[in-house]
């Protein structure tokens, strides 16, 4: 881990801890109390934050954290709100990171290094890369959320994970305000996992991500659905824009738009089985799809398991399972987080009873 020795200075004295938080800020930021969070989570769940702060620039983050050192309120860092389920009001401070900025910092004959601020919308960054002919993330088109959240979850789709393109992650320590930078290996990326979900959870704010993108592209279009879509589009020699277009078409067809139907994308992780356990399952269910991984285990599509337990298209009030993709739980309008989580637990139980597989939730529950 590289420590960035930049000093963080604050405008406020230690006596600021005695003041009421909404009145202590002289910098320009959105700061309110008792704020509805429905518009800040893609599930569209009704919940409130005792205090809500929206930070638009790095100096605002600095000053905010300097004050937070003297408070004990629970703190939730929010990006695009696309991987979160509120089951109740948040009894603390919700901080939305809305910093913006994309800049090229260096390049070689084969690669370009681009620094992206945490508050940039992920798909806007994908489109920026396509416009500049920077490759590597075209398979991740149309994934909801912000750039600062992508390393935490190690977002992935259609044979590509964001870890494949991340060079390093810059962050600030919430407690001591120290800036630091983690290399790709130090982030300990795994399937939908990283160090930010473990040792660093609740301890840092990701401020920017540096990506290593290709100028000479290697395309990933071995997934059958991408190949089928390219054929449908009449494209025989695809480029990165064609891959992104195919992925976008597939996602728009299979997945609900959060602006129309509340959801957080894939609700469960795809489980991995040892070769022995997979062989047993394959014997009972010969048509079960699978993907053999580099470590010899087999990844099973959670959507297939859920569908074959009869949950696809299920609806109980406004909580349900999407009709086109069983991996996506949805809020049809007025469902609350507790109803969504109860449905998720019922699905987990049925998968365990029928297949003997423990299904892990991918969405963060609050």
**Which CATH fold would you assign to the domain 102-214?**
3.30.465
Q: What is the pLDDT of residue 294?
A: 83
Q: Check pLDDT > 50 for residue 7.
A: no
pLDDT mean over 96-110? 96
Closest CA to 238 of 220, 253, 251: 220
DSSP for 13-48 reads -GGGGGS-GGGS--SS-EEEEEEE-GGGSTT----E
Cβ-based neighbours of 114, under 8 Å, separated by 6 or more: 102, 103, 104, 105, 129, 134, 210, 211, 213
Q: Check pLDDT > 50 for residue 13.
A: no
Q: Pairing between strand 75-78 and 90-97?
A: parallel
Produce one character per residue of 322-346: b if its CB has 16 or more CB atoms within 10 Å, e if not: beebbbbbbbbeebbbebbbebbee
Percentage of the chain beyond pLDDT 90 is 79
Whether 362 is a known active-site residue: answer yes
Q: Check pLDDT > 70 for residue 273.
A: yes
CATH of domain 262-365: 3.90.78.10
Residue of 120, 161, 170, 362 with catalytic role: 362
Whether 138 is a known active-site residue: answer no
- pLDDT tens-digit profile of 15-25? 222 223 333 44
Whether 183 is a known active-site residue: answer no
pLDDT mean over 108-124? 97
Q: Check pLDDT > 80 for residue 242.
A: yes
As a whole number of angstroms, the distance between CA 169 and CA 209 comes to 5
Q: What is the pLDDT of residue 15?
A: 25
Q: Pairing between strand 84-85 and 75-78?
A: unpaired
As a whole number of angstroms, the distance between CA 4 and CA 65 comes to 17
Instruction: State whether CATH 3.30.43.10 applies to domain 2-97.
Output: yes
- pLDDT tens-digit profile of 85-99? 999 999 989 999 999
Q: What is the pLDDT of residue 210?
A: 98
Residue of 82, 98, 149, 266 with catalytic role: 266
- pLDDT tens-digit profile of 294-308? 889 999 999 999 999
Angle between the N-to-C axes of helices 122-132 and 240-254, in degrees from 0 to 180, rounded to the nearest 10 = 150
Where in the chain are the domains?
2-97, 102-214, 262-365
Residue of 60, 138, 192, 245 with catalytic role: 192
Strand partners, 113: 106, 212
Question: Average pLDDT, whole number, for the chain?
Answer: 89
As a whole number of angstroms, the distance between CA 197 and CA 204 comes to 11
- Map tokens 């540096």 to a residue: 210
Model confidence, pTM: 0.85
- pLDDT tens-digit profile of 157-182? 998 999 999 999 999 999 889 999 99
DSSP3 helix / strand / coil % (the chain, rounded to 5) = 30, 30, 40
């Amino acid at each position: 881990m590289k420590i960035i020795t930049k000093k963080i200075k604050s405008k406020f004295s230690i006596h600021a801890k005695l003041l009421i938080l909404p009145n202590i800020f002289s910098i320009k930021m959105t700061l309110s109390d008792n704020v509805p969070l429905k518009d800040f989570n893609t599930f569209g769940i009704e919940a409130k934050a005792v205090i809500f702060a929206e930070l638009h620039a790095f100096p605002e983050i600095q000053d905010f954290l300097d004050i937070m050192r003297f408070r004990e309120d629970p703190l939730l860092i929010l990006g695009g709100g696309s991987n979160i389920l509120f089951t109740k009001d948040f009894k603390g401070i919700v901080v939305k990171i809305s910093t913006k900025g994309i800049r090229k910092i260096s390049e070689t004959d084969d690669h370009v290094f681009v620094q992206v601020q945490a508050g940039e919308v992920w798909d806007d960054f994908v489109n920026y890369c396509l416009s500049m002919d920077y490759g590597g993330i075209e398979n991740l088109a149309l994934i909801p959320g912000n750039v600062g959240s992508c390393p935490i979850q190690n977002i992935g789709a259609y044979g590509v994970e964001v870890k494949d393109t991340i060079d390093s992650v810059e962050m600030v320590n919430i407690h001591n305000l120290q800036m630091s930078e983690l290399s790709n290996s130090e982030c300990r990326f795994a399937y939908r996992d990283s160090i930010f979900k473990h040792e660093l959870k609740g301890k840092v704010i990701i401020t920017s991500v540096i990506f290593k993108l290709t100028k000479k592209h290697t395309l990933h279009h071995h997934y059958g659905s991408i190949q089928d879509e390219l054929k449908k589009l009449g494209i025989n020699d695809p480029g990165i824009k064609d891959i992104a277009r195919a992925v976008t078409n597939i996602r728009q067809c299979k997945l609900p738009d959060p602006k129309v139907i509340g959801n957080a994308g894939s609700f469960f992780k795809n489980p991995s089985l040892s070769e022995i356990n997979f062989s047993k399952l394959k014997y009972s269910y010969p048509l079960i799809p699978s993907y053999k991984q580099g470590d010899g285990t087999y990844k099973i599509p959670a959507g297939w398991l859920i569908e074959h337990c009869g949950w696809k298209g299920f609806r109980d009030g406004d909580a349900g399972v999407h009709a086109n993709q069983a991996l996506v739980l949805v809020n049809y309008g007025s469902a609350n987080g507790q109803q969504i989580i109860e449905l998720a637990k019922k699905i987990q139980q049925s998968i365990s009873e029928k297949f003997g597989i423990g299904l892990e939730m991918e969405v963060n529950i609050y």
